[in-house]
Structure 1
Amino acid sequence: MTTLFLITLLQTDPYSGMSSGETAAVAGLGVGMVLFFFAFLFFFLFCMFKIFKKAGREDAWGAFIPIYSSFIQIDIIKRPWWEFFMYWIPFYGFYLMIVDLNRLSKFFGKSEGFTVGLFFLSFIFLPILAFDDSKYNPDALPDLRNK
């Protein structure tokens, strides 16, 4: 039965009702969305690069490498390296993300309100953190890496 359905589905042309102009418009919209996504992604990664630079990291370029950037961020907020694997535990990883955003805010001299902003409106508050004149204070919170 499923095979018959798939054969019937493959024989239909989903674009038979669209003119070439409509097809071009849909394709252009798709390309535009992809370009917007990559521009937003590059801006986000550049903000992380600036935050890593403000924290005094020599390897700030690591912001552009997916898993390595997580390890850099964990090191900046002075948490143990194995915490990266804790992010994958359901619910606890979500809680840990909020705690780590709070630690990141505190290391740059920001309040809990800024943490809420980072959580809900990260596309606004991350550039604020990257481009404002706040300084990284490595002594703001205790170092949890040695425990």
Structure 2
Amino acid sequence: MPPDTTQLSQAAYDRLKAEYDDLTTRGRIDIARKIETARELGDLSENGDYHAAKEEQGKMQGRILHLQAILENHEIVDTASGGTVAPGSIVTIRYEGDDDTERYLLGSIEERHDDLDVMSPGSPLGEALVGHVAGDVVSYETPTGATLNVELVAVE
């Protein structure tokens, strides 16, 4: 898999595709109307509505390009892992020596849902967790070179 490929569940792909389709049709029409309405107000150099609409247009175009890149370079992954950590899994982990647990969604930031933080499967911890099951203790090396042990408490 090329490094710029984004792993997505089918549900996330469908949601991103719908957002892309909406932004490239209705979104562009709406922003063009806002810009035209603001232009009719007169002097563009001091027209706050015009500048706000142009800024909104720029942000929307940035989101369109981001979505387009994801949709062109994606891989649909099966999130039904049967208890084994895979992209799309929700993992509960506990760091060695710590009593508290942490829950993460393992996947692309575009997969985010609920109030879970997202962990990339390509991160050092994400790579170490993939393929393991609840009860396993996994070691991984941090970017600073330290080795940490993590207990995989649960996989959903």
Please say whether Structure 1 and Structure 2 have the same fold, judged by a TM-score greater than 0.5.
Answer: no
Structure with a larger share of its residues in helix: 1
Per the normalisation by structure 1, the TM-score is 0.25
TM-score, normalised by the number of residues in structure 2: 0.24
If each structure's strand is expressed as a fraction of its own residues, which one has the higher value?
2
Higher alpha-carbon Rg: 1
